[in-house]
Structure 1
Amino acid sequence: MSSSAMHIARTGLDAQDTRMRVISNNLANVNTTGFKKDRAAFETLAYQVVTAPGAQSTSETKYATGLNLGTGVRIQGTARIDTQGSMQTTGNSLDLALDGDGYFQVQMPGGTLGYTRAGNFSRSPEGLMVTSEGYQVMPGITVPEGTTNITIGQDGTVSATIPGQSEAQQIGQIQVASFANGAGLQATGDNYLVETAASGAANLGVAGQDGRGRVRQGMLEASNVN
């Protein structure tokens, strides 16, 4: 086999290795709450035009197809597949799932804003609604000590019975972030994404409006790997 043929074969092996890494990561996260699988996209490398289609083959004839030699393949990029994962009922009042498009917004270390589909939230010792890593859900929601009967509507309205009150009071509003190009968000690990120039800035709004998904209380979205 010629050196050029070996090189072409090697590009295929390298591309398939990258594809298998993507698939392996998908399978490793089959049980990760809110995880979205990735797909590797391939593209051809440059072609060597030995004979152009339509070139003169003789003084009176032309080549019908020509001769083009490919030089291999490479991974163009990875695309996140944002199809909805199945809803799993937990019965936990602070477990939330988004039924439809959008992301929960949280404040990460250093003040960076992160975005996630994983809504397994809890109450911090300070009374804040936080992620499993302790990152505050934004806009901030405080759940007072002794609060009972926490209900979260499909529009993200958070209500609860506060000590000293006989009726439920609204204590916050969970907003949903949408992006002009959600595929442009950058994965950082721990189930979080951050905005980039490709994604555009986050557009916060009410759940269930302007194409944003609705909030489902007592449920979590499963990985969409199958």
Structure 2
Amino acid sequence: MRHLSTVDRLIQGISFVSQTKIDTDAEDLLFEYHPEYDQTLSAADKQTAGRLMRVNHCGEICAQGLYFGQALGGYQQHIIDEMNQSAQEEKDHFNWCLKRLEQLHSQPSRLAAIWYMSSVCIGYTVARCGDKHSLGFLEETERQVSEHLIEYLNYLPEDDLNSRLIMEKMYADEVGHSEKARQLGARRLSMLESVTMKITAWVMKAICY
């Protein structure tokens, strides 16, 4: 098997996040779809749910970029392995969101490659500050994503049970990732760093919505 260079893996990552339909191989990993749930949704409900899921999908694009950048800039191999493992787990979230967008007749963000590359740069820069700092960034990212999902679950149309099931599972996974980073020795970020991350996320959500 040919060893992929960093550039090869970067191109592979861009190709993955830019897809508008999930791979056939990923179909078996999807949530069970209940079409009867969607029959009760109004056009306005579907539009709202589609916008929320587009933001969630964009967040998963950013997660792929951040983890790639952090693995690329990491120092200790077990931390690098952890970043790669987390990225692999987040691919499920990416596929769930992408498929749900299709079911809602909505579209993913057209800026996927830009979100991904920006996140790679951020992830790499953070990783070069040291593994504990990188883990702290991971912990804070997952904590903020968890808060975001709780907020969006409240915004989600009450009858959209298909989207709700996906987002609730994503929430549970994000909490787990945050706890794992803490156990690996994450260093708490400064208030300035946390606020900057929130502002950046707010800009992304505003554009994608």
Higher share in strand: 1
Higher relative contact order (CA 8 A, sep 6+): 2
Q: Same fold (TM over 0.5)?
A: no
TM-score range, shorter chain: under 0.3
Higher share in helix: 2
Q: With structure 2 as the length reference, what TM-score do the two structures score?
A: 0.25
